[in-house]
Structure 1
Amino acid sequence: MTRIFSMMLAMVLLGLGPEIARAADKFESGQCMTLHNDRKDGPVKDMAVQLQDDIIRISFTEWDVPNTEFETSAKCYLVKGKLECQIDCDGGHVTVSSTPDGAWDLDSTLLYSMTGSESLFTVQPGPDIASLVGKFRVSRDEGNKQCKVLPDHVFAALQPGDISPRVKRAERLLSRLGLLLEFPDTVYDEATAEAVRRFQRQYGLTQTGIIDEPTSAALVSAGFVGTGC
């Protein structure tokens, strides 16, 4: 933690080193801290927190918001034995304190978080932004090597007769691959189904004309290969 260690050195020169050093040891860089909440505890379901140097990264999922991981990061300073972490652009702030048993208590207010990545054909998720407000206790999780949380996964197939923005996203990829000559729209008609069958035939998939989960994964992968997007 470059900034924290610089502060420790300055305090050592002032004769206050041991206290600051003890505080800094409580916030180990790279250590993964997680929590799992019951539904009754609020909208946050799972959370993972990790400090890298003087940047804290927080990711979390919410109950009833599938396919979505919220993520944010903030710059931290060691102040009176606590981490004060701030997002300058929007005023988001979180205070992190250490408990005697090695857990961390987060006191978060208006810490805005953008969604992580999602499949193009998953069910439409919740809002693109969420505010993380409240008090949370996270504990060491040695087994979570990537320090990630996994949102609930929900997939709904696309088939003839469907009308959805998801159809338009699928048609754009089919068009990019040269399999659909019509202008992409939100209607899953017979032309879309025939383009899907051609795609499935090319990739050794069952030729149903329905975008099931294996077809979705293959289409997303093929549609972005060599496009520069």
Structure 2
Amino acid sequence: MMSRIASGLATATISVALVSGPAFGAEPASCYTLEKATPDSGVGIMTIDRSGSITYAKTVNPYAPYTDSCEFPENGSVTCSLECDGGRITLMRVRDGLLAEFSNRRVESVRMESVVTALGAMEADGAVIDGSFFLKPAPDAVCQASDKLAQPLLMEPGDLYPAVKRLEKYLLVGGYFADAPDWYYTAETAEAVKLFQSEIGVEPTGKTDRDLLALIGVHATYAFGGC
């Protein structure tokens, strides 16, 4: 009698674990995609692949995605801090997919608008993404297609982009730039960027990519007083 009860309890325990616990024994999918858009957070598209590459776009403009990276949670959860602005992303495997928790993720600094593609007006400074997002397994092609939406960004002298005006505003706050901000990436813009790059200890190329634009934006937010 006691052995039957013990056997029944063991079976029940295993059943509960299978129903409620994450399926860490199963091989993770190589691609995950947002199950449905989340109007409250403004996120309409999100994909995360096994390498930890995160691509997401807002509902108002699905063709101007943002990108982040975070270690993929092979087991349990992983939290990634993003630069020094207090933002973070937590990824956790759950039984049927992947849970992504965004906390105070600033996105305004990494937005790239192109004059050629006419993607519309820039977002207001200080935009953030907060919330939990459930992603379900998807074919690799879904993540690959999402990655292709991301616009390349390497600004250098001679370029014309709305994002240049934002960059120059940030440099103006830091005292690196003295002219009126506009869309033109001039030699003066490049010199200002070189000054900033030299101060933070990176090669002074005078060119600006997504990561540098985001970093300058964070420093400008804190009035270049450090993190």
TM (norm. structure 2) is 0.44
TM (norm. structure 1) is 0.44
Q: Which has the higher helix share?
A: 2
| Structure whose CA Rg is larger | 1
